[in-house]
Every structure is written in C-alpha cells, then in structure tokens.
Amino acid sequence: MERSLSELERLIDTAGGVVVGKSSQEVRRIDPATFIGRGKAEEFAAKVVELAAELVVLDCELSPVQNRNLEDKLGVLVLDRTAVILDIFAQRARSNEGKLQVELAQLEYLGPRLVGRGKMLSQQTGRIGTRGPGETALEYDRRRMRDRITRLRRGLEHVRAHRGLHRRKRASIPIPLVSLVGYTNSGKSTLMNALTGAGVFVEDKLFATLDPTVRRLRLPSGREVLLADTVGFISRLPHELVESFKSTFEEVEAASVLLHVIDGGDEEAAMHVKIVEGVLAELGLGKKPVLDVVNKCDLPAVFYRGDRDAVRVSAITGQGIGEITERLDKMLTVEFRSVTLSLPQDRGDVLSELYRLGHVTLVEYCEDRIRVECELHAKQFGKYRRYVEGS
C-alpha cells in the first residue's frame, strides 16, 4: 500500500500538484456509494477544510457514482488514479496523433462522470483532472460526446493508415526495428539519446516522453537499425490508454528485438519488471526477443542487477553503451544470411545500399565486375538475388 501511495505522490507531482496530506485505509469491503465508507469520507471532509485542499486523489478506480458522491460529501474535486494519469498524458501529448489518443481516452473516461460535475469542474478549471478535453467536456451532451468520440476514432484510423504506409515503405527496404520498453522513468529516453544522439526530451518525472520517436542506429558491424522510444508502462495502466495507444504499441509489435530498460536504482525494480512483462503479455508481445538493460548503474546504491545476460549501463555516463550495440548485433545476426554478389561496375548505387543495409565484409574490383561479400537481411535477399555470384 505504501509503495502504491508513494507512486501516486510522484504522479501528482508530475501533474503539477502539491500533496498537503495523505491517509491510508485497509478496505475490507468496498462501499458501493463512496468506496471508502461514510466514516472515512467524513474524516476526509474535515481534512479538506483543515488543510484548505483543492482536490482529493484516491489510489483506486472509482465508479462514476462513487466519484459524484464523494465530491458531494467533500465539496472539492475528487480524482482517482486513472484521472491523474490521463491528466499527465493531456499535458505531455505533442503530436497530432498523441493529442487525438489522449482526448479519446479522456472522453471515454469522463463521459459517465459528467452528470452533476458541471459546477465542480467549472470551479476547478486549470487544475489536475481538468486539462485537455476536461475543460471542454461540459460543452457536450451525451449525443454530441458520442459524435466527437466517433470523429476521434475516425481521425485515429486515418493517422494509423498513414503510419501503416510508412511502415510498409520501411518494410520494402527492411531495416530491423528495435524498440525500447520499460517502466516509466527508467531512463529510456536518456538511453536513446546516448545511443543515437536523438535529442529526445528528458526529465526526472513520470511519462516525460509520450509520443514515440524513431531514430537510426549504426551497429559495430556497420549495419543500421531503427531504434524506437515508446511510452513508459506503469502499474494499473488505465484500460482507456491501452486501447487508445494501440498504434503507439504497433512500433513494439513490429520490432525484431525489445530493449527492456530497467531502473537499477529503484528498490521496486523487480516488481516493475513483472509489470512490464505483464503488459507485454497482455498486448500479445510476450514472446519477442528481449535484451534486459539495467540502467543507472552509476548510482551509489544499485538495488537490481538482473540476470547474467543483462547489460548493466549508465545512460548518463555512457558506461556499457558499447555492449548494448554489440549484443544487438549478435541477436540480429540470425535474421541475416551471408552472400557473395557480383555487381556491374556501373552499379555503385547498389554497393552504397549494401553498405547501408547490410554488413559488407569484402569488396573486390575486378575487370568488369564488383565482387561483394556481405550479410543481408532475409527480407532483402530477394531484391539482390539476381546479383548472387554463380546464379
């Protein structure tokens, strides 16, 4: 319970709030009216007045009825864990796709909660739980809200179709995709910057990066891969977000290898690993090849080191970064095959492609041919089959 409350405090801090008081309670029977029961609700009401609190956040998922009843009893805005996470996503979304996804998730969450909350939300404009569509949701009656949700879904389908075109284009010149996954604030974006110099936004807060970023990474063998940074996972990730952000997770689905970034300096790292593995399994991605990367190993106290196959790094100092690229090279080798090609002298463009897409080990310039020994991805072999020596 204390661990979960501590994480909730970090979520509130990330959303821009300041915790002025907290309380815990072992709930043996969930009260259908208020979740916490009448006595605890009265205690909270007294605390709200004493501390001049502007809102109350519960580390659970409230039903619309429980939400409204608590607001009536406490006289302030009441949020659950899901509402805080949605608020953070509303702040962090930058791309058009990200904004559409967040708005859809918020509207689906807020829809059943609008009745009776008009006065409450209008008084709290600009605070946690009211950003993004939270400020405008009261303009919609149920019919107009359903229409807006339908339009958002259509907009996302258009964006996903556009993303699909890019993915198919990438597949025509198949460069392996490697995706970074991990618990939020494990250092994925810092690691991506260390590997690629991508300049991804980094901040010591939960969900600092929301929109996926894809950059090229050259491995020691000379071959190139695409490295994708994705949204961080968290315990009890809201169902609305999992559904809305499926297109974001498509980058993970298309990956040849997952780099699971783990915060070695977090006492809860072992639990976070299980949560990430659970989310991946829920998304049907549990059988992907995974390389565990234990980050923040430069800290004075390291609580988690992973198994013997894990790579231990510090994305800040650069320690162990080279080992990641070497291990990726070995893991991706299984997708490549060794071939010897015989190119016409005037096909220097093909040789340039081979340097970019494969691992060229030998180039010999003969009288009228260029002899090239290289490794090609299995999906690329067909494109260069006519140049195979002796064919």
pLDDT of residue 295: 96
Distance from chain centroid for Cα 271: 18
Q: Are 252 and 179 in contact (CB under 8 A)?
A: yes
3-state secondary structure of 361: strand
Calpha distance 202→186 (Å, rounded): 11
Helix ranges restricted to H, the chain: 2-15, 38-51, 64-74, 81-92, 96-110, 118-123, 142-172, 188-196, 239-244, 246-253, 269-282, 321-333, 348-357, 381-384
Considering the domain 175-332 in this protein, what is its CATH number? 3.40.50.300
Name which of 259, 352, 348, 350 is nearest 310 in CA terms.
Answer: 259
Strand partners for 216: 226
Q: In what order do the strands lie in the sheet with 336-344?
A: 336-344, 369-377, 359-365
- 2-139 and 175-332 have identical folds: yes
Q: Hey, what are 203's tokens?
A: 């901040």
Q: How many CB atoms lie within 10 A of CB 214?
A: 18
How, if at all, do strands 224-229 and 213-218 pair?
antiparallel
CA separation, residue 389 to residues 362, 369, 370, 371 (Å): 14, 11, 11, 8
Name which of 122, 141, 120 is nearest 56 in CA terms.
Answer: 120
pLDDT of residue 85: 87
pLDDT tens for the chain, residues 1 to 391? 677 888 899 889 988 899 999 888 887 889 999 999 989 999 999 999 999 999 999 999 899 899 999 999 999 999 999 889 888 888 877 777 778 888 888 888 877 776 545 444 444 445 566 565 554 545 556 777 788 888 988 888 887 777 667 666 655 556 788 999 999 889 998 999 999 886 655 555 566 555 667 888 989 888 888 898 877 888 877 666 666 566 566 667 778 899 999 999 999 999 999 999 988 887 778 888 899 999 999 999 999 999 989 999 999 999 999 999 999 988 887 777 888 999 999 998 999 888 877 678 899 998 889 999 988 877 778 888 889 987 6
Quote the DSSP letter at residue 135: T
Calpha distance 192→316 (Å, rounded): 11
Q: Are 76 and 129 in contact (CB under 8 A)?
A: no
Pick one of 3.30.2130.30, 3.40.50.11060, 2.40.30.10, 3.40.190.10 as the CATH number of 2-139. 3.40.50.11060
pLDDT of residue 285: 80
pLDDT of residue 367: 84
325-364 residues labelled b (16+ CB within 10 A) or e (exposed)? bebbbebbeebbeebebbbeeeeeebbeebbebbbbeeee
3-state secondary structure of 199: coil
Calpha distance 102→148 (Å, rounded): 13
Sketch the domain layout of the chain as residue ranges.
2-139, 175-332, 335-387
